[in-house]
Amino acid sequence: MTNSVSGAPRGAKVKNIDPSAAGQIVSRVIAFLRVFMAETVARRIISTVLLAVGIDDARVAELTGMSERRVRELRKNIRDGVTDDDLFRASGGSRGRKMMDVEKLVMEKIENNDYSTQQEIADMVYEEYGIMVHRSTVSRLLKKTASGG
């Protein structure tokens, strides 16, 4: 029979890890996982494991470098049974390649068609490419293109 939290056999002795070494161990595991995935995803996975074995939110945040708010959100997701891919998908960061590729196509469409407002351009991008673009993003794109950027 196994422990439902750790998966270790019931009654198994677990070595105590020096608390000062825990940070180094977590850092090394994150560095290793970065070979296979984005650092933010690696941090979420490690945080999820630490939360699952009962480490408190503040300590998980300290060990992984994540914010306490994000750690609380992960704990809530674990409690609520959220296990979909969104939990471990990297978010934020630099502009997506898809948008950068679409910029050229959008500029070609703008030059060949009659769009009178930035909102019409944003709507066209959504209809044509399935990418939601805010009107202010269209404005920046137009300014960048006009300045030769």
What pLDDT sits at residue 3? 46
Report the alpha-carbon distance of residue 94 to residue 113 in Å, rounded: 30
Query: What is the reported pTM?
Result: 0.47
Average pLDDT over residues 13-24: 66
Least-confidence region, from 28-32, 84-88, 130-134, 137-141: 84-88
pLDDT tens-digit series, residues 58-105: 999 988 888 999 999 888 888 887 765 555 555 555 555 556 667 777
- What DSSP line would sit under 59-128, residue for residue? HHHHHH---HHHHHHHHHHHHHT--SGGGGS--SSSPPHHHHHHHHHHHHHHHHS---SHHHHHHHHHHH
